[in-house]
Amino acid sequence: MDEMSSKQRAIYEFIQRYTQEHGRPPTNREIGKAVGIESTGHVDYHLSVLEKKGHIVREDRKSRAIRLTQQGLPMKGHIAAGQPLEIPDAPEGYVDLAKQLSNGKYLLEVKGKSMIEDCIDSGDYVLIDPEAAIEPGDVIVAVNHSGNASERGAATLKRFYKEKNRVELRPANSTMDPIFIDAEEWEREWEIQGKVRAVYRLFERPRK
């Protein structure tokens, strides 16, 4: 972002904001109106520069054909949970949400409170990466393939620890006990379907 001129930065941030609000990119005329440029040709010049610098991609001969190469939200600083802190008007940088999401393959909605002390609450969404290497202490999705028909395929979200003769699935809730599974049973009846990469919480929960 540092190599942009102030006008190019304004154009980039407007494209980002407009796309987030409307679900589609703006036209050159809408961009010009937002950033104070009367000529659509002048807007096109700045877009060409942004494209050459790798910030956007455009499709020829299409009105709304601008795509940001890094989808993100402005990071405006820090927010205090204690004494208040000032939030600056100018962003300190951008959080690339697209890059974060690319680390996972799908979302699961959490049901229950077993991971509450890891700040994973019921109703949250966890981003799962089924291809990640698993290390001790990772939060994983473990699936039990044994049991009766109603229980078979049941999955649980826990921290994973593998010992010599057993596996521990540890909750992040001091009121709950860990699950210990014999090593042979683990190999025969259990499977790790993925590692948690991120947690998303919606403060306005979807109505069901």
Q: 167 and 161 in contact (C-beta within 8 Å)?
A: yes
Q: How far apart are the first and last CA of the chain?
A: 41
> 48, 62, 114, 208: which one is catalytic?
114
Written as one letter, the residue type at 25 is P
Bridge partners of 192, per DSSP, are 142
3-state secondary structure 11-47: HHHHHHHHHHHHCCCCCHHHHHHHHCCCCHHHHHHHH
> 33, 52, 53, 158: which one is catalytic?
158
Query: What's the CA gap between 134 and 192, in Å, rounded?
Result: 9
CA nearest to 10, candidates 42, 38, 32, 40: 32
Residue 114 among the catalytic residues: yes
Q: Which residues are catalytic?
A: 114, 158
